[in-house]
Amino acid sequence: MIGRLNHVAIAVPDLEAAAAQYRTALGAKVGEPQDEPDHGVTVIFIELPNTKIELLYPLGENSPIQGFLDKNPSGGIHHVCYEVEDILAARDHLKETGARVLGTGEPKIGAHGKPVLFLHPKDFNGCLVELEQV
């Protein structure tokens, strides 16, 4: 059901410093900051030959990333995103297997302009999983 790894998301306490580190120290192609108010984050994508790194920074007072950074002040891996061809079929299959879909269970539009869902980390070995329809 899942396809390729779309991205690994890293919550960061300083978005510009993290982007500069990838740009300067690692020589990576770094995108521009992009506010995602529906998700409470500002993101920057780092383009790699085989996937992407998504830098996450809190946007607004109710950002879910702020709680993560409160527990992990230096930042850290927040989630992994896998591609799926049909997000509704994937959701329904996962629910049938007992996996919990976060939020309302209805896809939201993600940072790439495509439908996304998040799966509870307790159902996936402690890892928050994002699914993105491609």
28-58: b (≥16 Cβ within 10 Å) or e? eebbeeeeeeebbbbbbbbeeeeebbbbbbb
Which one of the listed residues 85, 96, 106, 130 is annotated catalytic? 130
Burial class of residue 126 (count of CB atoms within 10 Å of its CB; 0-12, 13-18, 19+): exposed
> Does 96 participate in catalysis according to the annotation?
no
The residues that are catalytic are 130
